[in-house]
Amino acid sequence: MTATSMNDRCWIQREFLKEKIRVKERYWHFLESVPSTLLSRHQDAENDSFLFIPDALALRKYLPLILYLIDREREQAAKAESSISSSSMQWVVLESVVELMDFRNMSATIVDDNTVVTPSEKVTPQERSKLQKLLQQPQYQKYVVPFCDLSVRQREDDEWNIMNYDTLSIERRSQNALFRAARLLQQQWLENHNAAPSLQIYIVSGDADFVHRFPEEDGVKTILMQHLLETPNFLSVSPVLTEHAKKLVSRCQEDYAARNDPATANQSADHTAVGTQDYWSGDAIQQGLRNKTLVQGRFNVTKENPKEAMVRDAEGNSYFINQQSDGYFNRAIHQDIVVVQPLPREQWSSPVGRRRLVAIRNDENDIVEGGDDDENDSPPVPSGRVVAIVRESRRQFVATMVDTPMGDESACLVIPMDVRIPKIRIKTNTWQRFVGNRLWVQIDGWDVDSNYPSGHCVDILGPIADLETEITCLLKENQIFLEPFSAAAKACLPIQGHDWRVPESEVARRRDLRSVSIFSVDPIGCQDIDDTMHARELPNGDIEIGVHIADVTYFVQHNSALDREAQARATTFYLVDKRFDMLPGVLSSDLCSLHGNMDRLAVSTIWTFSCNFKQVKNFWYGRSVIHNVQAMTYEQAHNILHDLPPDDLTAGATPPLTAGYPVDRKRIKSLKKDLALLTKLARFLRKDREDIGGAVDLSSGDQGNELKFSLDTQGNPVRVTPKKQMEIHHTIAELMILANTFVAKTIYDRFPNSALLRIHQNVDESRFEDLKEVLKAGNINFVGSSNMKLAGSLKSAEAKTNSTVSSLFQSLATRAMSEAQYVSTGAVGDKAGLSHYGLGLEQYTHFTSPIRRYADVVVHRQLLLTLTPKVNPLVKPPPGFGREALASLPDSEMISILHGEGLNSSPSTQDETDTVATKNYQTTVEIPASLAGDGDIGELYSNTQVAKICDNLNQQNRMAKLSSFECQNLFLSLYFRSRTEVTQAVVTNLRVNGFFAYVPRFDFRAPVYLSDKDGNLQIDPRLLDLSPTDGLPPSAGFASSSQARKFPSGSCSLISSSESDYLDIQVPDSSKKYSLKVLDVVTVTISCDEWDTKSRIPQPRIHLIADSSEIGRLIEDNSSRKLTTSGPFSIGVQEAAATFSQRETTLQSIYSQIMSFETPTKLEVDFRYRDKKQRVDIKQRVDFAGASIIRGRVVFGGFVNPDTRSAQQEAAVQEAAEAAIERRYQVQASRARQGEYEASQRIEKEVTARMQKLAVSKRSTRIKGKGK
């Protein structure tokens, strides 16, 4: 960020989204924040100067011509023995133009998000190398300059933000960005030239329709390339133009037309040699979708067999796509939106992965071992083939070059890390630099007659098997691109840094809770402590419970640069050995974090319960100041509750500012009492949600199997232990659920059309097929039509099985459920759609973790806004943020603002029933109820804004979960690289050559192979009552198991019977047989000895072995392994459901009370005052007759709060901000009324022109003023 000051107070920002600009973009390998060569060669020119900005079509179509013209210009300059010609000419390559070229040059795209038809294009031969030549070689730097218009921002009210460029389609954004870039260049020219020759800017287009619609704007002309060559201005700039250039125009047009002949895009049944066919035309696609002979859906390649995919249409029908069936993938890539032609029934096929375990070699991508299944007697399923791609998924992947090119070949194949992505062909003469490294590869296109897509290497990420490299690859694969916090964001932090302390003036504005025994419970070593709590018994026997959350919004001002960056990051990403914070460390690990023995700012929610917790008598919420008396870990809290020593004396010293500092012995007794109260409440709340709300307990299948890794000094795992589940975990979780539910109800009541809630939609019973099949194998009935019935099924299954098997049920139920989503309530039509299926609650949100979740930041603002009057949403930052605060006026010159003094000591002059106690950001006062109507409360966020925020939150949270899960798998592979462990596993699915097993201890599911691709049985002989040395040495794939032996004459058969399916395993040398059924608990070894492979990270390998209990347990004994049905909890689903229904009719949920609870008309709040005398003086000086009363504060006529600026400065800033918001609303309203494309374009152009003219005029005035 670069900044200049105006009047020593106002920041003029040029904010860059990424500090070093876009990190190696598509066509160039290094870029500068501000191109120093741009306009530099015009400084000394005496005549007019010219800038040419080609659009995407012109740059692609006429690239050879542009090269020719620049070369002629260079020759002219050389002949004149000067690097500066009498008239200067430069070509500008925009980042937005390159983005559109990427978008158009991939596979055929029929319709984009805004239903604008975007034709597919084939690139100019050697297009990328030619552009690299222009942009990188020194001799061209004076003539061609890259300009990163997508990354640059000018001020807070930049046209990019006002016009919402981020929401536009790539096609429309590129069109608008052309004029925006031209205006930015014009402004730069005016700022640098007071009395210089004029600058003429041309947008050179290859689209005649675009030139016709936008011939000129703000002095920027649009012109076709062939017409540009005929203009006198261009001829004067480039007098060396010859007939060859004119002929080159025609040749470029002919070549482009030949490459993109529409005749080749029509419907064709002729297949190429590799089995693919040309994509159907747009008209044929639209007609087929209308008459339902074609279907559209997302293309999902299976991990079990990357040559098989499924596509589900909008009606829920699934179609199987088999790549081995004459190329039916047709160049589609995983997650593309495709159009599928259903095949006749006689051409249907059956997925191999449903019948057989498919092994994929780690250094191959399209060679599948065991892929052919001659015995596949599974019924065929509806099948189809891809005929077009509607919208492409991402086209950048982590890949590795395994095989080096042969001889003089200039192309190599790289294997993506994701097994579902095909090999990519890269053309390069410098392939040696790829050897031994992970690559970041871009797919550029896929010719119809090619086996592989073509692409190029964007970046070299690092050496293979290096831990930091692999983590970088993991993040990139999950589309997580985290850069350091920008300078603009850092400028928003308190200037005191870590030395910041709670100001006394802020204490006076809040409820002071520092005398209350408040504590926290977190994982050991936690630095970002979001939540604290307290519990105490009141003199009348009632119980007061408080949950206090870090007040992040005090430090992160709405719509500041820091706020926008936190919004983009959305969440803190937690990996095994590191985390990537949503907020800078000074906030997340210090100032916002509710550390022990430190005063901190909080947002508190406090309930008063009856002594038996069955009634909520009162509640209060608002801003507070707290003091965390003990930052405990879960282990410390658990030990205190169970009268154990709270601290582990053998452990090392706890780092400062983290959870787990030794517990003060004087506080143990009071802490135990408080924790006991919280535990009692949590038990009641948990039972309440499960029995009445139908909450589904998935803790052991979700969080219960979280793994904890102990690392050595090099960062490698040396020990893996499952997370220990204790009751205190559930206690803290229930408190957070209580606070989140209360806040959800509050913000929804006040903002029914824009509240940010978290919903969990009802799950269709069909999604539980895997769980249903597993339960069926255990003779357990399954009903999943509602959350209550699902909970009953899981409880019944848990009662009939041991803990090893029950954890499998929890895991399967968790994976079958859809993800919870953030939504704006205005985007959900039915109120019933706002419920949370898993928690069994009507409304729910996230409020308790604002340090690590941006959703909570939005919710905090909405909650606090319910306590304020309708004010301008541009809340001023507190003094001391981002700049030095103005010195305060002397007390004698200040008009005092009441901070709630005498709230309890002085009786109200109005009737108690006619007042509402409302707490402002700065103060708490009583105001007339007539001024507190719901319609008078302002909104910081509209429904559209919240919906847009939620989309990003959902996407980033999904990526965070995936990256965390994959990082755990990476460290598991590293852990098993040097060791083998024996543990138990549960059989989940049977196949003809093995089975899938779930390992509860390490929470993963993997295949167990019992035969190789040639059909040879490979098994531990002891399972068949044979000697460990019987049979032959195992094949290569089974060599990692010291117990496995090969039996060529053995058999492994999948037998289907009326009771259940089972695997029948036998060898001729033994009279005994071994069988396996679903839900059998088996002993396995886990290892990972394939780290010598290169293309992707190997997964842990499981082998079936016999332990002491397995030896001799043969087919005759299999009946003993059936699940028991005895026990005190062995009730059926129907009985459980009946019990729940009875409870529902006889009990009232505590959450139902919360939903119906009304805000009390008056709150008694105890405040702490340091200066009693000053309070008396204020009361004596106040003339209530001359004061104007609004909600939340008393303001005297004509008074402006002198926080940091003068009244004139504040008025100017606020006026500009209001004008910018008004312009944005006008544009949005106009767009809503005008649905047609032409009308919306005209409105955008007019508004933008007015804004830019005004901006240019203001800047010119400032420049002239400086000159004087």
DSSP, residue by residue, 7-26: TTTEEEEE-BSSTTSSSS-S
In sign, the C-alpha dihedral spanning 685, 691, 692, 696 is positive
Most confident of the following: 294-308, 762-776, 1238-1252: 294-308
Most confident of the following: 242-251, 801-810, 996-1005, 1151-1160: 996-1005
Q: Does 535 or 179 have the greater pLDDT score? A: 535
Give CATH superfamily name and number for 977-1121.
Answer: Nucleic acid-binding proteins (2.40.50.140)
Q: Does 179 or 377 have the greater pLDDT score? A: 179
- The CATH classification of domain 28-259, taken from the options 3.30.420.40, 1.10.10.410, 3.40.50.11490, 3.50.50.60: 3.40.50.11490
pLDDT at 151: 72
pLDDT at 1126 over 90: no
pLDDT at 541: 93
pLDDT at 15 over 70: no
Paired strand residues for 533? 519, 547
Is 867:1192 a contact under the CB 8 Å cutoff? yes
pLDDT at 946 over 90: yes
Query: What is this structure's pTM?
Result: 0.71
pLDDT at 1187: 32
Instruction: Give the side-chain half-sphere CA count within 13 A for 1164.
Output: 6
Is 885:879 a contact under the CB 8 Å cutoff? yes
Mean pLDDT of 847-858: 96
What pLDDT band is residue 1132 in, cutting at 50, 70 and 90? very low
641: three-class secondary structure by DSSP: helix
Packing angle, helices 854-865 and 943-976, rounded to 10: 150
267-477 maps to which CATH number?
Answer: 2.40.50.690
- Pairing state between β 88-94 and 49-54: parallel
Q: Does 84 or 1223 have the greater pLDDT score? A: 1223
- Of the given ranges (168-172, 296-300, 853-857), which has the lowest mean pLDDT? 168-172
What pLDDT band is residue 553 in, cutting at 50, 70 and 90? very high
Q: Does 899 or 411 have the greater pLDDT score? A: 411
- Pairing state between β 1193-1196 and 994-999: unpaired
What pLDDT band is residue 510 in, cutting at 50, 70 and 90? very high
| Average pLDDT, rounded, for the chain | 74
pLDDT at 748: 93
What pLDDT band is residue 327 in, cutting at 50, 70 and 90? confident
pLDDT at 311: 94
**502-509 long-range contacts, Cβ below 8 Å, gap at least 24?**
502/599, 502/600, 502/601, 502/625, 504/1170, 506/554, 506/601, 506/625, 506/878, 507/625, 507/1168, 508/899, 508/1167, 508/1169, 508/1170, 509/623, 509/899, 509/921, 509/922, 509/923
What pLDDT band is residue 671 in, cutting at 50, 70 and 90? very high
Q: Does 1013 or 202 have the greater pLDDT score? A: 202
pLDDT at 504 over 70: yes
pLDDT at 269: 44
pLDDT at 1243: 57
The CA–CA distances, whole Å, from 908 to 306, 900, 905, 915, 924 equal 74, 12, 10, 9, 14
pLDDT digits (tens, 9 = 90+) for 447-499: 888 889 988 888 899 998 888 899 999 989 988 877 888 888 999 999 998 99
pLDDT at 140: 83
pLDDT at 421 over 90: yes
pLDDT at 282: 82
pLDDT at 398: 94
pLDDT at 1155: 60
Could you tell me the two tokens for 432?
A: 């040696």
Mean pLDDT of 403-421: 81
Q: What angle do CA 792, 796, 798 make, to 5 degrees?
A: 115
pLDDT digits (tens, 9 = 90+) for 755-783: 999 998 877 666 677 777 777 777 777 76
What pLDDT band is residue 803 in, cutting at 50, 70 and 90? low
pLDDT digits (tens, 9 = 90+) for 1048-1086: 989 898 888 777 788 999 898 788 888 998 888 899 999
Mean pLDDT of 876-889: 36
Give the separation between CA 517 and CA 134, rounded to whole angstroms: 68
pLDDT at 675 over 90: yes
Could you tell me the two tokens for 612?
A: 């038996």
Burial string for 400-410 (b: 16+ CB within 10 Å, else e) reads bbbeebeeeee
Question: For the CA atoms of 225, 231, 235, 236, what is the dihedral angle to 10 degrees?
Answer: -130
State what percent of residues in the chain have pLDDT above 70: 68
- Of the given ranges (49-58, 462-471, 1092-1101), which has the lowest mean pLDDT? 1092-1101
pLDDT at 849: 95
DSSP code per residue over 752-767: TTT-EEEEBPPPPGGG
What pLDDT band is residue 1250 in, cutting at 50, 70 and 90? low
Rg (CA), the chain: 34
Packing angle, helices 127-136 and 63-79, rounded to 10: 30
pLDDT digits (tens, 9 = 90+) for 959-988: 998 898 899 989 998 888 888 899 999 998
pLDDT at 429: 81
